Amino acid sequence: MSTSPVVEEPETPPPTPGGARADLRPEHIREAVIRLAGNSQDGIQSAGAFLARLAGRSSQDVMTYMTIPSTISGGASIFQVRIGSGEVLSAGDEADFLVAFYQHSYDEHIHHLREGGVLLYDSDQVEPDPEEKRFVHVGVPITGLTIEALGGTAKDKGKNIFTLGLLSKIFNFDVEKLKKLITERFGGKSEDVLNTALMAFQSGFAYPVGNVLSRLYHFEPADASAQAQITMDGNQALAYGLIAAGVRYGAGYPITPWTSIMEILRSEFPKYGGLFVQAEDELGAVSLALGMSYAGNLSVTGSAGPGISLKTEAIGWASMAEIPLLVVNVQRGGPSTGLPTNVEQSDLYQAIFGGHGDSPRVVLAPRTVEDCFYVALEAARIARKYSTPVFILSDTSLATRIEAFDEPDLSGLMMNPAPDISPRDQEYKPYALDHLTHHAPPGSRMLGDKYPVVTGLEHDEMGHPTGSPKLHAAMTAKRRRKLQELAKEIAIPEIHGDPEGEMLLVGWGSTYGPISEAVNVARERGESLSSIHLRHIHPLPEGLAQIFSRFKRVLVIEMNDEGPYGYGQLASILRARFCDPKIHSLTKTDGLTFRVREILEGALK
């Protein structure tokens, strides 16, 4: 991070983009962090998304970060895109380019621009501090030019696309690819809308920005052999992962930041012959999903913290009745309505322990947008095999950011959605003590003539309610053993960095990027730092004790509170599990993702 990502590379300058001054020397760069700061109604999210998608199409690595105000329309909002020719792990601590649409955008975000960075501002709206000499100032009358280009009714709507044109010139983006993306995006609407967008883009691109900027930039080509890239946000990746996992039914109730998953599933499931139902509330949603799962269709429900709280009684039933279920929690700041549009990892306890009684459930957490796709497959596999509820703990940051990742090989991944209603023989016991429960959904003929009743009451092997102390102990153990069996089959996490040394960072969920980047930066500086990232959080994989034993200190990094005893939620669990005083905790609760710098400071102080 200390080195400027803008690297001068004088060899073989690419052809100067059209319209630029002939003496402008394009600079080759490996990556750039571009922050767009404006108001949410200006469509800066969609401009940012275009950039992300373009990068993905150019096989570049990309990661975005955005904040959206929780107010319905308007409010300050940013979209940060980090585009790189190598691996991009986080959205970047500091921006190389800041595009400020308003004075407040400038005032709030100028501190996020690195020294020597470029401030591109709408000179119709922003007056930068004239004393400020640390940045390259580039003023463009974005509002005026957009109105001029589009005329009359559009007012300044289209500033985002105008700016996209401007950035395309500055970064020598592939204009044809971008126009194609714009056409794909707006082509479905009226021809007018598309033409307006293309006009805005064209006039941004034609603006002689070369007169005010001393250089233009050119991304180094990414690895030519790179696989095709898919560009999407974490909620999309999770939703499509569920589809690949053969999940065809589900129910939910809207709540930020889970909502877009249910919106996608509502429109997508019918294409596959399935159905997602908008329920009257979360109690109804989880119950509907359990009805679908009981009927043999592994189903999904989801929410954010407040809604998960409402689902907990029914999830306890799923543990007891041994009905598989996927529960997605896209975490936000809590408790209560909390910080609805900010990120936090404070629902870990809730996922693991948030039920009455001993109610084992599995908890998984995706680490990247790409992993949101694959974690859904893993969750579905586990739910089916162990006939148990499985939590997927995502968060606001994964939900809303866009990343490009290698296209998955779908043909090798698709799971079979069909319910197993094959006849069950005389031996069938719904809750056999000596092997895993395999639920017989309605429609299955019971050749022993005894039809099963699944139940939330403690029961014997045939499902009859029982108060027998022996059976409750045996059944509780049976349900718990599923987690012990599962722990044996999940992979030991890989160590990033040296396999032994001074300090091991432990993370889970969306902190993967900044933690890994912090390790890279520290190692470049010659410090000993390593990390592991937990995807299976409950149960924990085996082999962690051996990994911990090779490090002097273990520091667990997470976005939640340190609690009364000074340890975050995962840190507390690891300390309870390993009774190891060298396990320490680095937490934060400002509702923002970890910066690489914060991790380095916490780890190396």
Partner 1 sequence: MTTAIAVPEEREKLTKKALTADHPTWCPGCGDFAVLAAYYKMLERRQLPQENIVTLAGIGCSSRFPYFVNTHGAHFIHGRAVPLASGVSLSRPDLHVFLFGGDGDGFSIGGNHLEHGARKNINLTYVIMDNFVYGLTKKQTSPTSPIGFKSKTDPTGAIDHPVNPMKKLISAGATFVARSHATQVNHMIQMMERAMDHQGFSVVEILSECVEFFPGAFDSSIPRKGGTYSLIDEKKWDDTPEDEARHDVTDEIAAYRLANLPFPGLFGVFYNIDRPTKNAMEKKWISDTRAKTGNRSDLEILQKTFDRMK
Alpha carbon 562 to chain centroid, angstroms? 23
Site track 465-504 with partner 1 (rule: CB under 8 A), x = hit: x---------------------------------------
Cα-Cα end-to-end distance for the chain: 18
> Binding to partner 1 (CB under 8 A): which residues in 41-100?
53, 56-57
- Kindly state the smallest distance separating residue 172's Cβ from partner 1, in Å: 21
> Binding to partner 1 (CB under 8 A): which residues in 310-329?
313-314, 317, 321
Crossing angle (nearest 10°) for helices 142-150 and 159-171: 110
* Other Cβ atoms closer than 10 A to 132: 11
Residue number, 299 or 569, with CB nearest to partner 1: 299
Cα angle 556, 508, 285; round to 5: 135
Assess 410 for contact with partner 1 (CB under 8 A): yes
- Name beta bridge partners: 138: 120
Q: How far apart are CA 574 and CA 505, in angstroms?
A: 13
Q: Which stretch binds partner 1 (CB under 8 A): 39-47, 124-132, 283-291, 524-532?
A: 283-291
Assess 251 for contact with partner 1 (CB under 8 A): yes
Q: How far apart are CA 102 and CA 105, in angstroms?
A: 5
Among 274, 333, 514, 602, binds partner 1 (CB under 8 A): 274
Residue number, 18 or 467, with CB nearest to partner 1: 467
Assess 234 for contact with partner 1 (CB under 8 A): no
Q: How far apart are CA 216 and CA 238, in angstroms?
A: 37
Assess 254 for contact with partner 1 (CB under 8 A): no
Among 7, 193, 228, 492, binds partner 1 (CB under 8 A): 228
Q: Which stretch binds partner 1 (CB under 8 A): 25-33, 118-126, 387-395, 439-447?
A: 439-447
Assess 236 for contact with partner 1 (CB under 8 A): yes
Assess 406 for contact with partner 1 (CB under 8 A): no
Assess 225 for contact with partner 1 (CB under 8 A): no
- DSSP states of 185-249 as a string? HHTTS-HHHHHHHHHHHHHHHHS-GGGT-S--EEEPPP-TTPPPEEEEEHHHHHHHHHHHTT--E
Q: Which of 340, 383, 336, 331 is nearest to 362 (CA)?
A: 383
**Phi and psi of 218, rounded to 5°?**
-145, 120
Among 202, 214, 337, 455, binds partner 1 (CB under 8 A): 455
Is residue 366 within 8 A of residue 375, CB to CB? The reply is yes
> Binding to partner 1 (CB under 8 A): which residues in 336-375?
none
Assess 296 for contact with partner 1 (CB under 8 A): yes
Q: Which stretch binds partner 1 (CB under 8 A): 101-109, 165-173, 384-392, 402-410?
A: 402-410
Token pair in block for residue 506: 């432990």
* Other Cβ atoms closer than 10 A to 525: 11
Residue number, 316 or 514, with CB nearest to partner 1: 316
Assess 457 for contact with partner 1 (CB under 8 A): yes
- Kindly state the smallest distance separating residue 454's Cβ from partner 1, in Å: 5
E strand segments, 509-550:
530-534, 536-538
- Kindly state the smallest distance separating residue 195's Cβ from partner 1, in Å: 22
Residue number, 87 or 280, with CB nearest to partner 1: 280
Assess 288 for contact with partner 1 (CB under 8 A): yes
* Other Cβ atoms closer than 10 A to 129: 11
Residue number, 485 or 590, with CB nearest to partner 1: 485
> Binding to partner 1 (CB under 8 A): which residues in 162-191?
184
Assess 280 for contact with partner 1 (CB under 8 A): yes
**Phi and psi of 313, rounded to 5°?**
-60, -45
Residue number, 170 or 290, with CB nearest to partner 1: 290
Token pair in block for residue 108: 């709030």
Assess 291 for contact with partner 1 (CB under 8 A): yes
